[in-house]
């Protein structure tokens, strides 16, 4: 497989990508003997766009998906665009042009691909314009991420930056207010007023935000925890925080 190609698997991920960007598909593999109602729409779209297809046995799909749940379908696609900090000005300008308040999600060291996929899905639903991650020690777009994201990996830009603190300052210079999350603060998420251009920062699964990341936030908030557990899964916490911001900003006249 060429280095510039990627593997995508899973019914929802492939179906969504076929509808949005069929030109990226190089080849599709289907499980031999399975042509049920869930796979037929994908097969029909592949034929419509003239995408080469193969019927293969389960062993081939298992090997190509490296043991992940492929659901009987797998594709080879051209790699998508890699976004960098140089694209942020354009992303903010595009949001302003559409008269939308710029909205970013910053993930500081989230390494689990399932969490990144879920965060992409949350971000798409909340109207986030881009997710920003450090170039090192962070999950990347993979087949697993695409499957969990259910199409959101193709709608929400993932911006990889070499220096997260510098990028945060760049956003602040563009008028973006940055709110970080940490359990040590006394400020409750629901006691803060969210308005204007914003970026939400979520820390790594176990360690939270790094010190420099925290120091570059304009404000730190926490989720109220009433039970015995001390924290939530990062993708769950991200969804709660994003939609509290959405709720408040949608009520601004």
Q: pLDDT at position 252, please? A: 57
In 3D space, the residue among 110, 119, 129 whose CA is nearest the CA of residue 171 turns out to be: 129
Token reading at 73: 């379908």
Q: What is the residue whose two structure tokens read 């939400």?
A: 200
Pairing of strands 130-134, 158-161: parallel
In 3D space, the residue among 244, 182, 176 whose CA is nearest the CA of residue 213 turns out to be: 182
Q: pLDDT at position 79, please? A: 78
Q: pLDDT at position 238, please? A: 97
Pairing of strands 25-31, 73-78: antiparallel
Q: What is the residue whose two structure tokens read 């820390």?
A: 203
User: Any idea of the CA torsion for 7, 86, 111, 157, to the nearest 10 degrees?
Assistant: -50
**What are the Cα distances from residue 47, in Å, to 17, 38, 70, 73, 154?**
15, 16, 20, 15, 22
| Domains of the chain: residue spans and CATH | 5-78 (3.30.1330.30), 83-250 (3.40.1280.10)
pTM confidence score: 0.85
pLDDT in 10s for each residue of the chain, 253 residues: 445 688 888 888 898 888 888 998 999 999 987 767 888 889 889 999 999 999 999 898 988 887 778 888 999 988 777 789 989 999 999 999 999 999 999 999 999 999 999 999 999 999 999 999 999 999 998 888 988 998 898 889 999 999 999 999 999 999 999 999 998 888 999 999 999 999 999 998 778 899 999 999 999 999 988 877 777 899 999 999 999 999 999 875 4
Q: Kindly report the number of other CB atoms within 10 A of residue 247's CB atom.
A: 11
Beta carbons within 8 Å of 225's beta carbon, 6+ residues apart: 183, 231, 232
Q: pLDDT at position 124, please? A: 96
Q: pLDDT at position 204, please? A: 87
């Amino acid at each position: 497989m060429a280095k510039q190609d990627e593997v995508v698997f899973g019914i929802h991920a492939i179906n969504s990508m076929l509808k949005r960007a069929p030109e990226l598909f190089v080849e599709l593999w289907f499980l031999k003997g399975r042509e049920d109602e869930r796979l037929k729409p994908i097969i029909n779209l592949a034929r419509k766009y003239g995408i080469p297809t193969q019927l293969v046995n389960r062993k081939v799909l298992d090997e190509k998906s490296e043991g992940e749940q492929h659901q009987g379908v797998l594709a080879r696609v051209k790699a998508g665009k890699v976004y960098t900090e140089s694209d942020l000005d354009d992303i903010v300008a595009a949001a302003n042009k559409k008269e939308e308040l710029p909205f970013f999600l910053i993930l500081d060291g989230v390494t689990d691909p399932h969490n990144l996929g879920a965060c992409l899905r949350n971000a798409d639903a909340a109207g986030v314009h881009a997710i920003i991650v450090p170039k090192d020690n962070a999950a990347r777009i993979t087949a697993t991420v695409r499957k969990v994201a259910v199409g959101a990996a193709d709608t929400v830009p993932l911006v990889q930056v070499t220096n997260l603190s510098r990028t945060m300052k760049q956003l602040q210079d563009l008028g973006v207010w940055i709110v970080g999350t940490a359990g040590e603060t006394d400020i409750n998420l629901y006691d803060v007023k969210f308005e204007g251009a914003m970026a939400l920062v979520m820390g790594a699964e176990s360690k939270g935000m790094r010190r420099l990341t925290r120091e570059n936030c304009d404000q730190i908030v926490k989720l109220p925890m009433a039970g015995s557990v001390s924290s939530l899964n990062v993708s769950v916490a991200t969804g709660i925080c994003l939609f509290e911001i959405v709720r408040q900003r949608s009520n601004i006249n």
